[in-house]
Amino acid sequence: MDQALTKQKIKELRAMVSEGDRVAILLQDDPDPDAMSSAMALRTLLGRNKQTTPIFSFTPVTRPENRTMVHLLEIEIAPATTEDLASFDKIAMVDVQPAFFGERLPRADIVIDHHPGYESGRAPFEDVRTRYGATATIMTEYLMTADERISERLATALLYGIRSDTLMLSRRVTEDDLQAFTHLTPLANYSLMRQIDRPELPLSFAQILARAMKRMVVEDKLIVLNLGRVERDDLIVQMADFCLQFEGVDWVAVAGKLGKNLVISVRNHGMGRANAGELVKTLFGDIGSAGGHRNMSKAVIPLRAWRRREQTTRDPKIESRLRDLFAAQITSEGDEGRTANGRNGS
């Protein structure tokens, strides 16, 4: 861990926030464990409470395990509006960056994140460490360097955040992630973590699964499905996770209509040059919010924007168009990789 850098960042961060400032901590849409635990840690680092530094998100938590985490660890996340955020003295964000929010964000004062691919210089305070596997690792390093007490509740949240964003320490893990994980391990409540890991699935998931399986085909190691209208975002995500387990499948794209949006969840095995985050930015960044990691990503597109570009929002047409878009992009990336390998070997 780079303690000299972290000490300087802590000094700058604490100097930015005056005692009387009201600070809003903003998380990405449908917050995940890395984001929620990092928000809790930032509040601890600043010596704040939920009254002076509430946590916000524009959309609620939907995945079953994340909702269980919210319940068991008593994490309060208020619904955000642009007007409400503008009334705060400072707006901080963790595990996300200003570009994600577009016009919804009035301004950004504090940004702490680990995701690559965003333009810097959008906030007075920025600490973006793209080599880290989780933002929770950055926040754990802050707390350790500042010699702050990490409560059992906070340690459980941070440990689960690191676990979830690194897929149980199997993805993008650095020595910093391992040090943070080791420090948190004896402090966490493993009984709570086991409860978070095993949330109940709704019966509707089985019904959606049965319908989708009748249409599922694997073409060029790709599965594309549109589930149509869904009640919860996590059904799309879990279907994508489920489909990636089939033999001969390298890529999965699962879409569904949630409210006024088309939500697309993308998965791959993270092999070679494949990058799910960059792929969804290329395909959908001009009409919605899109991004993520090398092997998992997400796009949220207003249905009206999809209709303007694609001329239809009929479910079969959406599925067919998505298959064409993903197949073309994945084939293109594969050709570039083979060309590059050919040059390297010449």
Residue 272 has pLDDT above 80, yes or no: no
Looking at per-residue pLDDT, the higher value among 5 and 231 belongs to 5
The H-or-E segment that residue 24 falls in is: strand 23-27
Tell me which amino acid residue 9 is: K
C-alpha dist (Å) from residue 228 to 32, 233, 254: 24, 12, 10
Q: Express each pLDDT in 141-164 by its tens digit.
A: 999 999 999 999 999 999 999 999
> Mean pLDDT across the stretch 36-65?
94
> Mean pLDDT across the stretch 16-33?
96
What pairing do the DSSP bridges indicate for beta strands 296-302 and 261-268? antiparallel
Q: Express each pLDDT in 227-263 by its tens digit.
A: 999 888 878 988 998 899 899 999 999 999 999 999 9
Residue 273 has pLDDT above 90, yes or no: no
Q: Identical fold at 3-197 and 203-345?
A: no
Domain range 3-197, CATH class? alpha beta
Q: Phi and psi dihedrals of 118, rounded to 5?
A: -110, 150
pLDDT at residue 333, rounded to an integer = 63
Residue 200 has pLDDT above 80, yes or no: no
CA distance 209 to 215: 10
C-alpha dist (Å) from residue 317 to 101, 226, 320: 28, 9, 5
pLDDT at residue 208, rounded to an integer = 81
> Mean pLDDT across the stretch 132-143?
97
Two structure tokens written together for 5 = 């850098």
Question: Which pTM does this prediction carry?
Answer: 0.68
Nearest to 71 by CA among 200, 166, 172: 200
- Residue pointed to by tokens 């939920």: 50
pLDDT at residue 1, rounded to an integer = 76
Q: Express each pLDDT in 295-346 by its tens digit.
A: 889 999 999 999 999 999 999 999 999 999 999 998 776 555 444 444 343 3
Query: Where are the domains positioned within the chain?
Result: 3-197, 203-345
Q: How many residues does the chain have?
A: 346
pLDDT at residue 168, rounded to an integer = 79
> Mean pLDDT across the stretch 129-140?
96
- Residue pointed to by tokens 């577009």: 102
CA distance 276 to 253: 10
Residue 39 has pLDDT above 50, yes or no: yes
pLDDT at residue 334, rounded to an integer = 57
pLDDT confidence band for 97 (50 / 70 / 90): very high
Average pLDDT, the chain: 91
**203-345 — its CATH code?**
3.10.310.30
> Mean pLDDT across the stretch 273-289?
91
pLDDT confidence band for 170 (50 / 70 / 90): confident
